[in-house]
Amino acid sequence: MNDVSLITDLNNRLAFIIPKSLNIISRKNAKKDMPNLLERRTLEMDLPLQDGVVKIVNVHEFSKQDNGDEKNKDLFSRINETYENCPKKIVLGDFNTNPYELNMILESRIYADRDFESVVNSKKDVLYNPSWRYLRERKKFKGTHYYESCIPRWHFYDQILISKSLVGLATGTGASRMYTNYVKLFHIVDRLGNRVFKPSESYDKDKHNSDHMPVLLTLEM
């Protein structure tokens, strides 16, 4: 672990683990740099690339058990407004919201779309949500969080959203229009080292395990 750095927010709820070789331009904790509504809910950093800077925003939104759907309406709208003018951005983390819920898809909220071509062709600041790919396929894990309530079910709360300038490009017009998708891989991680995650594995507070599955995205940039 000597070759990586750990960046956390003031409350140690959010973090980035990055190679020390990366020259991070800046990092901001929401508590100091954003409106009060975003306190303790976002952590951002600027990642320099050859063709510009990518804004990466890590989020941890309100739980549904804490009236999260209603609270996240304003929170998601504020995130949308705060980063609206960032042409290159990745918004990721625990949204505590499924990809198909209104807070994720409405233009006034997070505004994420599942259709790659629609995102690339859009003139608006829409984000691409590749987690829909996973929902369409029959996988061992049907989501990233299994909630054992009166009706146990999987939820896909942990997502990675990409701005259209990073997700791909389109060339040509009409029938000859061609698309290049930079998203090469998106999946739920079911193994870390010698540990294999099981769909029925419950949250063990004593071991401080997360009750959410990790997700992995590979971008060709």
Q: What residues does each domain of the chain span?
A: 4-219
Specify the pLDDT at position 32.
46
Compute the distance between CA of residue 211 and CA of residue 72 in angstroms, rounded to an integer: 20
Specify the pLDDT at position 98.
93
Token output for 54: 């990518």
Specify the pLDDT at position 110.
92
Q: Which CATH number does 4-219 carry?
A: 3.60.10
What are the residue ranges in the chain where pLDDT is below 70? 1-2, 10-11, 23-40, 136-141, 149-152, 198-209
Tell me whether strands 195-196 and 4-8 are parallel, antiparallel or unpaired: unpaired
Please write the tens of the pLDDT for every residue from 20-50: 777 666 555 544 444 455 556 788 888 888 8
Dihedral of the alpha carbons of 142, 147, 151, 154, in degrees to the nearest 10? -10
Specify the pLDDT at position 149.
67
